[in-house]
Structure 1
Amino acid sequence: MTSIQPIEPSTTLIPEKNLTNTLTVGIITAIFVIAAPMIIGTAGGNYWVRVLDFAMLYVMLALGLNVVVGFAGLLDLGYIAFYAVGAYTAALLSSPHLSSQFEWIAHLAPNGLHVPFLIIVPCAMAVAAFFGVILGAPTLRLRGDYLAIVTLGFGEIVRIFLNNLDRPVNITNGPKGITGIDPVHVGDFSLAQTHSLFGFQFPSVYSYYYLFVLAALLVIWVCTRLQHSRIGRAWAAIREDEIAAKAMGINTRNVKLLAFAMGASFGGLSGAMFGSFQGFVSPESFTLPESIVVLACVVLGGMGHIPGVILGAVLLAVLPEFLRSTMGPLQNMVFGHEIVDTEVIRQLVYALAMVLIMLYRSEGLWPSPKHEDKIAKLSKRSGKKPVRA
């Protein structure tokens, strides 16, 4: 009778660690990330460093949505609502708006609420997580298109509320938005100012870039830990087969609610940083197209694969601005004048690139390695294979 001999543990599927390569890649990546604003700022000015700032915000947003869509397999088309909740939480806690509308707040804080940023961030994350649970609770039985429709409606409801909560009590200031939001500061050190270090001048956009990078690294670390934890495995089980996961004893209700809450909290973090960075928030910044772009970051990069999601977020943040800045000069060089509006060409090229990628790289630019590929790669490195006798 044919049998399969067991593979020797600890020697067959565990590859030798190549610390040299790992350290080399890590050091090169760290140097590039640290030097990126100085290189790009010197070549293209502060505008492109600002684009990098928004790329980091997109990374945090995409990683948060990846928890819901990539890890747990729950399609969310209204994720931008949590971004809005975080931004407005920061705006209300760090601006004179509430003091100008409520007398009892004006008595407590005549010059407006100016809560420290280190307190605003956890507040924004907690409020966004609460809204995530509010969205998740009534949608526990929904999947696929039905869940997408409900989440789409939720995102639009939040935007409409923000647009109309200026009467009878003015909370959000309606379509005018909230201005005068405090920049990120710790004591007398404000990121809104230009700082000098070793003779180099660091404008505000540089300082915010490094803050956003640190926040993105924290989100990456948390997402990585979640993915390889018991909760992450439960999310993967629900994504593959919810009925089987429930049969195995997984509390699908709590696990799905946790996915919505965790993903929303990262959106709230990004929103709080966006509000403090811009100094102004309005409902127009949180529309459905923005939500679709964040979802595209996850799908384009590779759902469930953290490096792929980061790649997708950076590309979709930088590519539109690159096309915007090059299409006009290119037409002038070739035709002597602009034949088609630059914005139209940008949108066409952007959409065409997305369609081509989805046709020829449906799993994304950097998808998660398949389980079979992992086994084959580990077996090849070990030099041993299962032997049939």
Structure 2
Amino acid sequence: MKIEVANRLKHVEEYYFSKKLREVRELISEGKPIINLGIGSPDMSPPKNVLEAICEASYQENAHGYQSYQGLPELRKAMASFYLKNFNVDVNFNDEVLPLMGSKEGILHISMAFLNEGDAVLIPNPGYPTYASVTNLVQASPVFYDLREENNWEPDFEAIEKLDLSKVKLMWINYPHMPTGAAGSDDLFKKLISFAKKHQILLVNDNPYSFVLNQKPKSILQFEGAKEVAIELNSLSKTFNIAGWRVGMVLGNAEVLKSILQVKSNMDSGMYFGIQKGAIAALNLPDSWNIEMNSVYEKRRQLVWNICDKLGCLYDRKSTGMFVWAKVPKGKNENEISDYLLYKHDVFITPGTVFGSNGEGYIRFSLCVKEEKIEEVLKRIS
């Protein structure tokens, strides 16, 4: 019996890394010594006290039952305190913070809460592919806005104003930006808030790379008027090396979060108690944690820059985040180089076009690989 799939799937492909990592696993099973510089899954462990917190919590009475859809009050308080300490953003833990099972979950919940069929969504090009796929899943229409190197990977507002914005209801932004590593500026956030107010658009800043190789973490919520038009997603995955735990959050206007909760409360039955306790311990770590992590990423980034130099690629030394975004040599393209590295040198990297047409001519390296492995890549290509 053949059951026809829903129409929404006709415009959505399987996630690139889901497909490509399957191929990489097959190559490994054939004996290929693949080094994976493609995906941003932190390879380091969370701190010992964070692991102890989740273990100890697992022995508590009622730890294994259903939990609140809004998370433990202590978790929301920890998230609110984290934002006050690191961004000088004051949010009410009762109704302006909503824990999520990873910020990726939030992208779907936000879209389901606010988008109808026929609505339009502004999506960065290049950008995280999930913004477009989720927009298609809820049968809204993606409207891509260009980010280009010559404009520091920031939106060209004059160009956006020329687009048909009549049906645009939501705009995705992501600073520090993935995949380019552009940090974003105070002036940019102020312009975005003004733009969203002018066109009555919900602005969503996806901010999971706040602290990775970033000296000046920013939140859009720290700027005047932001709570009127903007919400922010954040995640503990990259900052605290707990990507597999699936802990994220959305912060901002209480009425907006109430609508998101309407969706979320029908999708899950609460986050595991032990994970919430571990997340609280992570959020209360001292600044020395980020300093220690960034010292590791800094060494790795220098080695990846050396790989780029060997390949004749250009890169921005001021970029942030756990990736290196590199421009391929003139006369070559991103797929040629990524295939060359995979099939000739057993090294997996990501071609820039995975993130949109403006990724043409670029490749992306992950820093989630130990130094000795990156040094091995250098040896192979030399």
TM-score by length of 2: 0.26
More helix per residue: 1 or 2? 1
TM-score by length of 1: 0.25
Which has the higher Rg, Structure 1 or Structure 2? 1
Higher relative contact order (CA 8 A, sep 6+): 1
